[in-house]
Amino acid sequence: MTDSRHALIIANDRYTDQGLKKLNAPLQDAASLERVLHDPQIGDFEVEVVHNASADLMRRRIQGFFKDRDRADTLLLHFSCHGLKSESGELYFAASDTEPPLLAATAVPSQFVRSCMSTTRAGRTVLFLDCCYGGAFSKGSTSVRASGDVNVLASFAEDEPVTGRGWAVITASDSMEYAFEGSQLAEDSGARPSVFTHAVVEGLETGDADLDADGNISLDDLYDYIYRHVRDQNPHQTPKKAAELHGELYLAHSRRGRIKIAAVPSPPSLRTALQSDDILTRQRAVLVLNKRLQDVKLPVAEGARQHLEEVASKDIHEIAVLASDALSEIHLSPSPDYLDFGRVERNSTPQKRSVTMQGPPLARHCVAQPTESWLRVDPTRSGLEVHIDTAAEGLLSGDIALKGVADETVIHVEAVVAAAHEPGHAEPAPGPSNESAQAHAPRRDRDTVVIGTTPTPPPPPRPPGRPPVPPGNRQQTQRPTASGRAPTLAGAALTLAVTALAMLAMTIQRAVAAITERSEAGVGGEIENNIREQGALTPLIVCLITAAAALIVGAFAQHDLAAQRERYTRKAAGGTRTLLSITKGLAIPALILAVLAGITYLAGSPSW
């Protein structure tokens, strides 16, 4: 990405003219877009927001935005407002003081924006248009008519830039015609956040728009993501793109870009076994896939991983658990995941720290991306080596993001850089923070390192969320264990479920005795008295309470098992899931029958 990146966001949601409907989306869209574009780990843009400006101020800000740029600049202009069309068919952007009968004087014409784009010396210019377009007219207006759709891209694609290297325009839609009924816009375009801008923000912020998983989000990546997202949300809205670019234009870093491997499909016989009606056949197929998952040939292992993910999401519970357990073995597990260089002298060369990647080859194959410019990463046969740049004094704190085929994690790194003449191990005096050190450090794109896949004996994986290990114990790792809250909670849930079932049986027994007494008493009998005498209500209430408690405790156990899955051995996890499955099978029917019995008693006792 370039060194000079600037964005201008124009958001108009309030209009003095009563014929222009108030919008709800532009302001919140502008705030969200400003956040992700300005984030140095995503867009790294210098962002300016213009909110509810007059037409004169909008023209001044737009022209000033494109003026005095050079070829190293990348410019992004975003409109979120009403789009109006004049009788001659020209597109205008509505300002806060726009009067529809006087568009030429009170709105910003698309021709003006196109002229600024075509004459700027900036190397790349990108325009996002999130507007409703078409023949919008107010009651009594004679100068604005609904005379057909407006071709938005044609308003910008007629002239190529004369000085820059390229331009691009992405629109929320190319032909949307909204009409005003009386003094209000018929389409309630402000009732919810904009689908288009929401897609832009979500794609950049989550990194999901990094479709090729190369760590960067290009213009083409973002447009393809926006197109699918908007069409899924509203099939009647079709985003459009026009571009004249030389080379790839990257709009943002990807936080979630993962490494991709061309998978070798599993053998046809294995895929057939996965579709078998016989449970044992499918179980054996999952075991074979697990073996292929350990293969040193990454395309073979990746093919097995993809099939296991499909099984884990679609097959019955027992088979899905078996597939999930196999997939848990390829989660990224660096050891250690916390590096403390301690106190180092400025401009010195601290000893490198080694990190071992654990697990099978597919789990060790990942991309390492330092989040700070002072971090350096080199690949090794067993993982990676980390060293730091000590050019700036202060407390350094940063992460190395590891992104693999299945998940991602971080290695946290800290150091204190002090002047050489400072005494031994004194606490560092208040000084430049990590941000200050970053400001003085030379700016450069963050290194991306692909970690190798040489097989090494995999130590047991560590549990996620482990706190930093004290310096004297840094080499210790926490092994999976059968202890923890999930098995205990699952056992308690099963006990409650069994109790609920026993109370239900007691309730039924006493209810039958009460009904028998009522039948023998004849006309003078009262079922409610018989039920109370037999004591059927007490076990019914206990059944309701214990069945509900069993489901709640079981939910807590399920949550703990999912959140801390690497803490448990496969046997412990499988046993816990079995207990939870039995608990549900007992508690849910007991709860339903108890509720029905209670409703029957409350509804029927007055008439019995």
Please check whether residue 92 is in contact with residue 83, taking contact to mean a CB–CB distance below 8 angstroms.
Answer: yes
* β partners of residue 377: 386
Over 80: is that where the pLDDT of 48 sits?
yes
Mean pLDDT check: name the lowest of 5-14, 19-28, 222-231, 321-330.
19-28
Preceding peptide of 336 cis, ω within 30°: yes
> Which position has the token pair 């030389």?
246
Interval 184-192 mean pLDDT = 42
The larger pLDDT score, comparing residue 426 to residue 172, is at 172
In sequence order, which ranges of 257-394 are alpha helices (DSSP H)?
Answer: 268-274, 279-293, 298-314, 317-327, 361-364
Domain residue extents for the chain: 4-253, 268-330, 335-460, 485-607
Neighbour tally for 362: CB within 10 Å: 25
* Residue-wise pLDDT tens digits, 466-508: 444 444 444 344 444 445 678 888 888 899 989 988 999 888 8
Quote the pLDDT of residue 523: 60
List the Cα angle 512/518/522 in 5-degree steps: 150
pLDDT reported for residue 605: 60
Is the pLDDT at 439 greater than 50? The verdict is: no
- For residues 408 and 405, give the distance between their C-alpha atoms in angstroms, rounded to a whole number: 8
More reliable by pLDDT, 286 or 368: 286
List the alpha helices (DSSP H) in 166-240.
Answer: 195-206, 219-233
Q: Is the peptide bond before 471 cis (omega within 30 degrees of 0)?
A: no
Tokens standing for residue 212: 């090729």
pLDDT: which is higher, 173 or 315: 315
**Which one is predicted more confidently, 236 or 204?**
204
* pTM, entire model: 0.47
Evaluate whether 554 touches 577 at the Cβ level (below 8 Å).
no
CA 128 to chain centre: 23
The mean pLDDT of 337-353, rounded to a whole number, is: 89
Average pLDDT of the segment spanning 118-137: 76
d(CA 218, CA 253): 9
pLDDT for 465: 47
pLDDT of residue 515: 80
State the average pLDDT over residues 24-42: 87
**CATH superfamily of this structure's domain 335-460:** Immunoglobulins (2.60.40.10)
Is pLDDT of 438 > 50? no
Our CA angle for 261, 263, 266, nearest 5°, is 155
CATH topology for the 4-253 domain? Rossmann fold (3.40.50)
pLDDT (tens digit, 9 = 90+) per residue, 189-222? 444 558 889 999 999 988 888 887 667 889 999 9
- Residue 18: DSSP 8-state: T
Cα angle at 241 between 235 and 243, to 5 degrees? 170
More confident residue, 127 or 41: 127
Residue 117 has pLDDT above 70, yes or no: yes
Residue 380 has pLDDT above 70, yes or no: yes
For residue 409, what are the β-bridge partners? 402
Question: First-to-last CA distance in the chain?
Answer: 81
Least confident of 131-140, 283-292, 587-596: 131-140
